[in-house]
Chain A
Amino acid sequence: AQAFSGAGSSVGDEGSKVVYSFCEHCFWRCGIAAHVRDGKVYKITGSDHHPLSQGKLCPRGTGGTGLLYDPDRLAYPLIRETKGGKQFYRKASWDEAITLVAEKLYGIKEQYGPGALAMLHHGYGVSFFKNMFSQIGVNKYAKPSYDLCCGPARQATVLTYGYPSDTPEGFDMKNSKYMVFFGTHFGENMHNTAVQEISEGIRNGAKIVVFDPRFSTLAGKAQHWLPIKPATDIAMMQGLMHVLISENLYDKAFVEAHTVGFGELWDSVKDMTPEKVSAITDIPADAIRTVAREYAFHAPAAFVHSGRRTNWYGDALQRIRAIHILNALVGNFKMPGGVVAFQKFPLVQPPPTHEHPAYEKEVHSKYPFFPDDEPSNTIASHEIVQQAISGEVKGLLIYGVNLPETMTLGRDKAIEAMKKAEFVVAVDVLPSEVTGYADVVLPECTYLERYDDLDNGRAFRTPFVALRQPAVPPMYDSKPGNQIAKMITEKWGIHGAFPPSVEKGLDKKLKLVGSSLAEIKKKGVLVMPETDLYRKPGEPLNLKTPSGKVELASARLKAGGFDAVPKYTAHPEPPTGFYRMLTGRKPMLTFGRTANNRFLGDLATAKENEVWVNNRIAEKHSLENGEYVHLKNQDGVVSEFPVKVKVTQRIRTDAVYMVHGFGHTSAKLTWAHKRGASHNQLISRTEIDPAMGAVGFQNNFVTFIKEA
């Protein structure tokens, strides 16, 4: 037998050290071990100590060195100036840049009130800027990813179970026997822990079912790949409910004891026979029956996964509600292999050292089911964009969001918003497109060069709190967000809002839970024992829904004027010769975060995006595999750059697919510039979820323009 040790250890390097921290290449925030030699990070591996990595890491995590040593990094503060009608950026000192930012932001707040300032943010360093803004009463924050990605899942879980969904999503994947996915691309989404658990499930004999218009990597592992017609998922879910109920396959005892609204649910699906659903979804009726029966057979060690990037057509809240109803019908709640609620580390927040305006519960969003308990989002990101266009928001702080390439309301609206705003400050690591629209650009150092706040925002089997700490000091004249926010706040004459040093602040928080900064620095994480995830027979659920039960029908939604149970509605169809534009990602890339990463971009499969075209459609348009075409959308928007055609059987004839995050226009991103085509540029139509305000963008259609 072999006795090999794990990944974190470094090999025979004199004078080298390992620094434990957590990753910033995606929201999963895995634990990393940064291996440092001669003052340089030469290798990044998965932390053996961190529950979300367990020694393993995805390519993007490894690729942190490609960000740290990116030759295009922002090196010093920049201020925009106009001379002779021409705009340019000049190098500025930190004091000059901070003074200007502090004066402009404060001036806007004084003249128009705190509601005229807003922040768009993405990334874990933002906490310091929230604290900064809170000192002058600004509480208008939005994380675009919430609207585009996980927001509907969060609110659907609140409405159904009474608690928000989390990361990792609450599914007991490794113990499941039957996992059903709707268009979610684990394996292409390298969500480390989820991929580890799915793999363990497969090794243990689990069956996988994938509904997806595209034969994804996960579909390649499925017993049933069901190439569903795009935009018809809710009909499919209703069809599965119909079979479960009409064939008496559902868990009657669970439904009776722990749910409300069964009658209303049955009324809404009783006409959704497999035959009717087959006509809508393009999936044979027999296959619908088979999946429903197998799902019930394997339950409760079976689930339908809620996915991650959930907002497709503006009805995602109801689509995820339908998924949770499918889960509730088979009684998999808090059962091995079913739906579970992971716990977070109970970090105690020290009392605020400084009084600030009382706005804690204020939500600025006009959408009735926008969350009122999500501290990172008090308004939808597109509402901020709209308010900047309308003039209600005058000043924007954009932290780590490359707004022109972010799917808030499409590229043009994003640019219009930044042009209309009186003052825009961008805090970023790279000269991404957004920095070209800012009045002041503040160069933050990378996550490998700084402390951030403690991370107890991830729930898992073993609750934990993780440390982000610098592996190397900041390069160039870049600074950590914690210092930038503190400098601005102190320019306002507000002292004491931040601890004397970020280290002292972290140490104080850790002392409240009986640890210290010195202790957590050793392994980068404090881990609690495994929690009990499963319910006992007869145990009441005590859910925080209005009924205290799982809400198959939601009285809250009904009172708000929405359907109490999810109902399929038809979405627009592609015009003749056009194809629905679907999107996803490559496993080694995270959109803007990795677009300019030369280390990750080195593999042939990472260098550009392709447009996937069904072989019959390619023939119809005379497209050859590997040729370059421009894409044109339904509103006449033509892609700035050409994109390579991938002719494949792996996609339906009514859709095409392209990975998001390519086609960068900023020439300062010397690697990413002109690689592939921008998916974002082709979004000119968005559908906002009327219940919770998230953005759907899959009702955009494209056709091909062949190179002359």
Chain B
Amino acid sequence: MSNKKNYGMVIDTRVCVGCSACVYACKQENNVPEGYCRDWVVQESGGEYPKLTMENRSERCQHCENAPCVTYCPTRASHYAEDGTVQINRSLCTGCKACMAACPYDARYVHPEGYVDKCSLCKHRIEQGLETACVSICPTGSLNLVDFNNMDEKTKELLKGKIVYRQKEHAGTEPSLQWISASNKPGA
């Protein structure tokens, strides 16, 4: 057990159907303005007819451990929080977009009020012992909030023997989102 938290997510794309419940739940929970979202859904298909493949994924800020947005933020508005997440201090943000240029995951947008905004991993909920809005709503159970410093048995079991990947690992950002690949065979 570590007293220091390191929150992230394990996203099981085997079950995700791309319904976007996570997106709408986030928009309501965080009062995200019309035309913007903090998380989004990707449906990727490949192969040649009739041997086609598909992966559905809910994506968002990856709360990197070596986050370019933090490195390149000139005002220290983007910063690491105690719990391992990456947060934005709105009062320090000038909306210069350096973080947006630096982020390999295109996870940020400029809020109409002038500051840069993104997924907070529902910090206000986690602090009260609640799951994020997206994890709470997800009908498939694809989304899992995980403290990687204190991983529970259920998450360990979920990851065991599976093809698991992180996005753009070559960028060296050490992202805190892990994806269980849709290419896993049944019962893997």
Residues in B neighbouring A457, C-beta threshold 8 A: none
Q: Which stretch of B10-18, B73-81, B86-94 is in the interface?
A: B10-18
Q: Which stretch of B19-27, B95-103, B107-115, B171-179 is in the interface?
A: B19-27
Please give the distance in Å from B49's CB to the nearest CB on chain A: 4
Q: Is A215's CB under 8 angstroms from B137's CB?
A: no
Residues of chain A from 30 to 81 with CB closer than 8 A to chain B in the complex: 42-46, 55-59, 62-63, 65
User: Is the C-beta of A649 less than 8 angstroms from some C-beta in chain B?
Assistant: yes
Q: Is A56's CB under 8 angstroms from B137's CB?
A: yes
**Could you mark each residue 588-603 of chain A with 1 if its beta carbon is under 8 Å from any beta carbon of chain B, else 0?**
1000000000111011
Q: Is A203's CB under 8 angstroms from B15's CB?
A: yes
Q: Is A199's CB under 8 angstroms from B140's CB?
A: yes
With A1-B152, A11-B130, A215-B52 as contacts: A602 and B34 at CB distance below 8 Å: yes
**Could you mark each residue 153-182 of chain B with 1 if its beta carbon is under 8 Å from any beta carbon of chain A, else 0?**
100001000000000000000000000001
**Could you mark each residue 347-362 of chain A with 1 if its beta carbon is under 8 Å from any beta carbon of chain B, else 0?**
0000000000000000
**Could you mark each residue 15-47 of chain B with 1 if its beta carbon is under 8 Å from any beta carbon of chain A, else 0?**
101111101110111000011010001010101
Q: Is B19's CB under 8 angstroms from A190's CB?
A: yes
> Closest residue of chain B to A218, judged by CB?
B17
Main secondary structure of the interface of B (DSSP, over half): mixed
Residues in B neighbouring A188, C-beta threshold 8 A: 17
> Closest residue of chain B to A602, judged by CB?
B34
Q: Is B21's CB under 8 angstroms from A603's CB?
A: no
**Could you mark each residue 114-138 of chain B with 1 if its beta carbon is under 8 Å from any beta carbon of chain A, else 0?**
0000000000111011110101111
Partner of A650, one of B27, B45, B137: B45
With A57-B139, A59-B24, A65-B28 as contacts: A205 and B186 at CB distance below 8 Å: yes
Please give the distance in Å from B136's CB to the nearest CB on chain A: 4
Residues in A neighbouring B25, C-beta threshold 8 A: 45, 57, 62
Q: Is A603's CB under 8 angstroms from B37's CB?
A: yes
> Closest residue of chain B to A588, judged by CB?
B20
Q: Which of B28, B135, B153 has the most CB of A within 10 A?
A: B28
User: Is the C-beta of A227 less than 8 angstroms from some C-beta in chain B?
Assistant: yes
User: Is the C-beta of A2 less than 8 angstroms from some C-beta in chain B?
Assistant: yes
Q: Give Cα A58–Cα B182 distance, bound, in whole angstroms.
A: 21
Residues in A neighbouring B138, C-beta threshold 8 A: 56
Please give the distance in Å from B154's CB to the nearest CB on chain A: 9
With A190-B19, A199-B141 as contacts: A217 and B14 at CB distance below 8 Å: no
Residues in B neighbouring A186, C-beta threshold 8 A: 17
Q: Give Cα A62–Cα B146 distance, bound, in whole angstroms.
A: 25
With A3-B129, A602-B34, A649-B48 as contacts: A217 and B136 at CB distance below 8 Å: no
User: Is the C-beta of A196 less than 8 angstroms from some C-beta in chain B?
Assistant: yes
Please give the distance in Å from A303's CB to the nearest CB on chain B: 16
With A45-B136, A202-B14, A202-B186 as contacts: A215 and B19 at CB distance below 8 Å: no
Q: Is A220's CB under 8 angstroms from B24's CB?
A: no
With A12-B128, A56-B139, A62-B25 as contacts: A220 and B145 at CB distance below 8 Å: no
Q: Is A220's CB under 8 angstroms from B141's CB?
A: no
Residues in A neighbouring B35, C-beta threshold 8 A: 602
> Closest residue of chain B to A66, judged by CB?
B24
Residues in A neighbouring B48, C-beta threshold 8 A: 649
User: Is the C-beta of B53 less than 8 angstroms from some C-beta in chain A?
Assistant: yes
Residues in A neighbouring B126, C-beta threshold 8 A: 4
Please give the distance in Å from B42's CB to the nearest CB on chain A: 11
Residues in A neighbouring B23, C-beta threshold 8 A: 59, 603
> Closest residue of chain A to B136, judged by CB?
A7
> Closest residue of chain B to A598, judged by CB?
B34
User: Is the C-beta of A238 less than 8 angstroms from some C-beta in chain B?
Assistant: no
Residues of chain A from 1 to 23 with CB closer than 8 A to chain B in the complex: 1-7, 9, 11-12
Residues in B neighbouring A65, C-beta threshold 8 A: 28
Q: Is A42's CB under 8 angstroms from B28's CB?
A: yes
Partner of A62, one of B128, B137, B140, B182: B137
Q: Is B182's CB under 8 angstroms from A587's CB?
A: no
Residues in A neighbouring B28, C-beta threshold 8 A: 42-44, 62, 65
Which residues of A are at the interface with B, using a C-beta cutoff of 8 A? 1-7, 9, 11-12, 42-46, 55-59, 62-63, 65, 186-188, 190, 192, 195-196, 198-200, 202-207, 215, 217-221, 223, 225, 227, 587-588, 598-600, 602-603, 605-606, 614, 649-650
> Which 4 pairs of residues, A with B, have the shortest CB-CB distance?
A220-B54, A205-B187, A187-B17, A7-B136
Q: Give Cα A217–Cα B54 distance, bound, in whole angstroms.
A: 8
Extra pairs beyond A4-B126, A7-B137, A223-B186 (16, CB < 8 Å): A1-B152, A2-B145, A5-B129, A11-B128, A43-B29, A57-B25, A57-B137, A62-B25, A62-B137, A63-B24, A203-B141, A206-B186, A225-B50, A227-B49, A587-B20, A649-B49
User: Is the C-beta of B59 less than 8 angstroms from some C-beta in chain A?
Assistant: no
Residues in B neighbouring A58, C-beta threshold 8 A: 19, 21, 139
Residues in B neighbouring A649, C-beta threshold 8 A: 45, 47-49, 52
Residues in B neighbouring A588, C-beta threshold 8 A: 19-20, 24
Q: Give Cα A58–Cα B137 distance, bound, in whole angstroms.
A: 8
Please give the distance in Å from A45's CB to the nearest CB on chain B: 6
Q: Give Cα A291–Cα B37 distance, bound, in whole angstroms.
A: 42
Residues in A neighbouring B158, C-beta threshold 8 A: 203
> Closest residue of chain B to A193, judged by CB?
B139
Q: Give Cα A600–Cα B24 distance, bound, in whole angstroms.
A: 8
> Closest residue of chain B to A587, judged by CB?
B19
Please give the distance in Å from B120's CB to the nearest CB on chain A: 13
Q: Give Cα A170–Cα B34 distance, bound, in whole angstroms.
A: 40
> Closest residue of chain B to A651, judged by CB?
B49
User: Is the C-beta of B150 less than 8 angstroms from some C-beta in chain A?
Assistant: yes
Residues in B neighbouring A4, C-beta threshold 8 A: 126, 129-131, 135, 145
Please give the distance in Å from B94's CB to the nearest CB on chain A: 27
Q: Is A187's CB under 8 angstroms from B19's CB?
A: yes
With A2-B145, A57-B137 as contacts: A12 and B124 at CB distance below 8 Å: yes
Please give the distance in Å from B161's CB to the nearest CB on chain A: 11
Please give the distance in Å from A41's CB to the nearest CB on chain B: 10
Please give the distance in Å from A207's CB to the nearest CB on chain B: 5
User: Is the C-beta of B6 less than 8 angstroms from some C-beta in chain A?
Assistant: no
